[in-house]
Amino acid sequence: MAGDGAAILLCDKPAGITSHDLVDEVRRERRLKTGHAGTLDPFATGLMVILLGRATRLQRYLMGLAKTYVAVAHLGWRSTTGDPDGELRETGLIPDDLTLPTGSVMQRLPMTSAVRVDGERLYRKAHRGETIETPEREVFVHRAELLQADGDRALFEIECSAGTYVRTLIETLDDAYCSELRRTAVGPLSIDDVGRELTSAQALSFMPGRELDSEEARFVACGRPVPSRAPGEDGDDQTAQSGGDGPVRLTHEGELLAVARPDGDMLRCEVVLA
């Protein structure tokens, strides 16, 4: 376990189990508070970021990262859920155009979604046989590349914002559903690193950072703010270059003590790990 009492596991979820099954399995093995940075549907496989101990406090910073997927579209078929778990119907109509939408996209939430509507998760309503007009939300598709097309099968690599339903994206082809889905990246975290146990500082390395001296580290451990720049710095440090009001890592001797946000010339703690 990392020195800051937090760790992040990179796991490869197999098909056929829920994300919560995987989280529960890790919780039983580690006997620690456990969370995640984004779920996968039961039929999907690939990278899940599991948070242990104090790292569960960092969920908000990892949940919003862009996701990368490899998806197989089964052409000439439709599914009531957009995936292989729904009721399947063959149409035999192979789409001529295999271009998926990119940029800003409005998606209507599927009834299989875990999003709450009127205080209840949509999939619970679906299990009772209810059908409602679900809300729409805006997502962003950074890229959707057709890697291969052969007969009734098309392979895509898709990079999209958090909250994007890839199966709904595949359904824009009309006569197609997402038969296979594999998540290969969460932000800079890659499926190639599955099995690694990261410290919280390593997992948040994509953020600008501010190294603290010993006195500042004591302040931050008590939740007190610190100057945006270390004493004697000329403004060319990573934090100063980041701009905006985004989160900043506060580290001491390589250990993540807190995540803060700029407030004028100060950095005020949002989450304290130490």
The catalytic site residues sit at 41
Query: Which has the closest alpha carbon to 7: 244, 251, 203?
Result: 203
Q: How many CA atoms lie within 13 A of 132 on its CB side?
A: 19
Please tell me the distance from the alpha carbon of residue 219 to that of residue 250, in angstroms, as a whole number.
11
Residue at token pair 């829920």: 18
Task: Dig out the tokens for 45 from the structure.
Answer: 């496989």
Q: What's the half-sphere exposure (Cβ side, CA atoms, 13 Å) at 247?
A: 19
Please tell me the total number of residues recorded for the chain in this structure.
Answer: 274
Residue pair 77/91 in contact (Cβ under 8 Å)? The answer is yes
Query: Tokens standing for 221?
Result: 């451990």
Distances (CA, A) of 142 to 95, 103, 145, 163, 271: 23, 6, 10, 13, 30
Q: Is 84 left (phi over 0), alpha (psi -120 to 50) or beta?
A: alpha
Q: What is the DSSP letter of 175?
A: S
Distance between CA atoms of residues 190 and 203, nearest Å: 11
Burial category of 166 from C-beta neighbours within 10 Å (exposed 0-12, middle 13-18, buried 19 and up):
buried
Contacts of 214 (CB under 8 A, 6+ apart): 252
